[in-house]
Structure 1
Amino acid sequence: MTQTRFDVLTIGNAIVDIIAPVAEEFIAAEGMSKGIMHLIDGERAEALYAAMPPGRQQISGGSAGNTAAGVASLGGRAAFVGKVADDGLGDVFAGDLAALGVHYATSRLRDSVRTARCMIFVTEDGERTMNTYLGACHQLTEADIAEDEIGAAAITYMEGFLWDPLEAKKAFVRAAHYAHKHERAAAFTLSDPFCVDRFRPEFLDLIRSKTIDYVFANVHELKSLYQTDDLGEAVRAIAADAELAAITMGADGAMAIHNGEVVSVPAFAIDRVVDATGAGDLFASGFLLGMARGQSLESALSTGCLAASEVISHIGARPQCDLAALSRQHGLVG
């Protein structure tokens, strides 16, 4: 077995979130439907980026990238694999991961495709109108999957949001193969009910074929996977299919199912939910790190819930405090 260099390696979409306050008139003038997420092409992305007013914030995002950031904040050794272009926003993304201490060595694209971005226009009423250009992040291929990196990670974790391009699917399967070759675990998050609806047979095959060892989902995604409104039925189904499943339940906490055992923990109380974006990503950070370090299911679940509680207490999908110190205060992994 290769020596462990990373607790968790994540694979997914490399996206930069660009947030700007705008007047209602800007939304109308640009022909956007307020409060809606629009998928856009490269030309539209460049035009909107140029039109954004001063005062914008640029924050690296992407589900798996957020999870890697959370692992690093918890004091873990994290790595990320995802595609950006050789451009300014690619520099932003790489720089943000470097500042967090996350290993990131994926080669950059050097053609006309630009780094993926989600431009978020916020009006005075707090409504967010998003315009997403996927660009470079959907160009991930098997060539980007390095056996020495995967083999050196205790757990490799992949996001369902990237289970769309054919070459990315091949990359995921290659990563899982390398993980198992080196006696490591491969994990996968269902990401969103929309992803489940599109790829249900493929997701089930990944799980039932044992390509994936650990499955992450929220209650809605799990029910969608098994096409049932009965949570108990869905839990029994995932228990039969997966080695381990971690299920988030919002304000009710989280549960893990392993070898017929179901373990549940409560959520951590916070004053109010400011922004739920990234809650599942940060839960995965804590749970994965706990599992990578051989902690109990209960401890790993609690660390995940603690990390999720921090990220929903402020705007943005990445932690704003030292999660390692916070977890130590609660007697958890740090």
Structure 2
Amino acid sequence: MKKQHAPILAVGNAIVDIIALTDDDFLQKEGMNKGGMQLLEDAADAARLYERIGPATEISGGSAANTVVGIVSCGGQAGFIGKLGHDDVGAIFAKDITAAGVEYVPCYDPEERTGNCIILVTPDAQRTMNTHLGATRHLLPEDIDPERVAAADWVYLEGYSYDAPSGPACFSHVADLIKGTDTRLAFSLSDAWCVERHHDELLAFIDDHIDLLFGNQIEIEALTGLKGEAMLDAVAGMASEVAVTFGEEGSVVVSGTERIRVEAKKGISVVDTTGAGDLFAAGYLHARQLGGSLEDAAMNGTAAAAEIISHVGARPEQPLSSLVPFRGR
């Protein structure tokens, strides 16, 4: 009998998002890859970039954290594991995520400050991320509570976490904890450049451990080195189910020889794509945890992503429970 903890548990980066509008010229001057994520190793580099951007909105974020907040907004239960600094920003993160209804017990790094991500949004709604991991890069395997992992039906990992020094060890630790249990492991690729940095290691981890893989078209292309139907054929053998998003072209769920295609929501005014993949994963995981089909899951993911791209920020502005079509049988 599993103890009473959240049935979906995410392990990821505890980050505060700093969101500002910009243009392509600024990205080019700063040498940024539009639509991607770069790591700012030095806190001073993050501070200097912050001084150069325009007016900004600060919102608690982090990819996996956004996903679990979305799951709760869908009407589900979810928990989170991520590391903070002992500072005001960390206190805000902890307050925000628990106020959203997520099961979260903070762990702290005694020396580093809470991580942040400067997200620059261009007029075409593309987001370019500049992340200083801070305390979250020091998440260790011993910070991951085995009891909470054992209690979960699903554990969800984000690709960004693999960049941390102990990221690979944390991934392996989670995989070891669920070995021989009925807990399933889901993984989001997060970023094409992250995939390229760790390609062979991530590919091996996915092949060995992952039940459900999330990625957008660019990320899956980076993983497989292929495009189109050949890409979908290649990824089919990597996990029992793979959800691939194609922006305004919708999504495809691949499971063995099965292909399920779901159109994107029409008539959505796209303001900011930050968190689109995170919230797609939220709707999808919520439906699967409730016993929904692959199509139910993709439909829920589509509805959740449509809400998040209609405004600035990666946290829902209205309850997703009123928007997702599948709410259990």
SS at match of 1:170: helix
Deviation at 1:250, TM superposition (A): 1.3
CA contact (8 A) 1:180 1:186 kept: no
Deviation at 1:255, TM superposition (A): 1.7
SS at match of 2:266: coil
CA contact (8 A) 2:125 2:273 kept: no
CA contact (8 A) 1:299 1:332 kept: no
Letter in 1 for 2:139: L
CA contact (8 A) 2:40 2:46 kept: no
CA contact (8 A) 1:34 1:127 kept: no
Letter in 2 for 1:82: G
Structure 2 spans left out of the alignment, 5+ residues = none
Change (3 A) 1:213 1:318: same
Structure 2 equivalent of residue 249 of structure 1: 246
Structure 2 equivalent of residue 195 of structure 1: 194
In 2, the alpha carbon distance for the partners of 1:224 and 1:34 equals: 21
Which one has the largest radius of gyration?
A: 1
Change (3 A) 1:123 1:282: closer
Structure 2 equivalent of residue 219 of structure 1: 217
Matched, 1:57 2:54: no
Structure 2 equivalent of residue 266 of structure 1: 263
CA contact (8 A) 1:282 1:307 kept: yes
Letter in 1 for 2:313: G
Cα-to-partner distance string for 1:42-100 (whole Å, 9 max, x where unaligned): 24545776x69997532111111110110011111011111111111100110110110
Letter in 2 for 1:292: Q
Structure 1 equivalent of residue 102 of structure 2: 102
Structure 2 equivalent of residue 304 of structure 1: 301
Change (3 A) 1:220 1:101: same
CA contact (8 A) 2:269 2:310 kept: yes
Structure 2 equivalent of residue 74 of structure 1: 74
SS at match of 1:84: strand
Deviation at 1:244, TM superposition (A): 1.4
Change (3 A) 1:191 1:270: same
Matched, 1:295 2:292: yes
Change (3 A) 1:235 1:56: closer
Letter in 1 for 2:64: A
Q: Which moved more, 1:273-282 or 1:255-264?
A: 255-264
In 2, the alpha carbon distance for the partners of 1:331 and 1:295 equals: 7
Change (3 A) 1:70 1:165: same
Structure 2 equivalent of residue 134 of structure 1: 133
In 2, the alpha carbon distance for the partners of 1:120 and 1:248 equals: 21
What percentage of residue pairs aligned between the two structures are identical? Answer: 39
Letter in 2 for 1:16: V
In 2, the alpha carbon distance for the partners of 1:129 and 1:244 equals: 28
Structure 2 equivalent of residue 159 of structure 1: 158
CA contact (8 A) 2:8 2:152 kept: yes
Letter in 1 for 2:115: A
In 2, the alpha carbon distance for the partners of 1:268 and 1:124 equals: 20
CA contact (8 A) 2:247 2:264 kept: yes
Which of 271, 275, 286 is the equivalent residue of 2:272? 275
Change (3 A) 1:270 1:150: farther
In 2, the alpha carbon distance for the partners of 1:121 and 1:296 equals: 36
Structure 2 equivalent of residue 173 of structure 1: 172
Matched, 1:313 2:310: yes
Q: Which moved more, 1:275-284 or 1:37-46?
A: 37-46
In 2, the alpha carbon distance for the partners of 1:234 and 1:171 equals: 29
Which of 230, 233, 257 is the equivalent residue of 2:230? 233
Please give the TM-score of this superposition, normalised by the length of structure 1: 0.86
Deviation at 1:149, TM superposition (A): 0.6
Structure 1 spans left out of the alignment, 5+ residues = none
Letter in 2 for 1:57: T
Structure 1 equivalent of residue 185 of structure 2: 186
Change (3 A) 1:40 1:331: closer
Aligned length: 320
Deviation at 1:127, TM superposition (A): 10
What is the root-mean-square deviation of aligned Cα atoms in Å?
A: 2.9
Cα-to-partner distance string for 1:207-233 (whole Å, 9 max, x where unaligned): 222x2211111112112211113x211
Deviation at 1:323, TM superposition (A): 0.4
Please give the TM-score of this superposition, normalised by the length of structure 2: 0.87
Change (3 A) 1:163 1:249: same
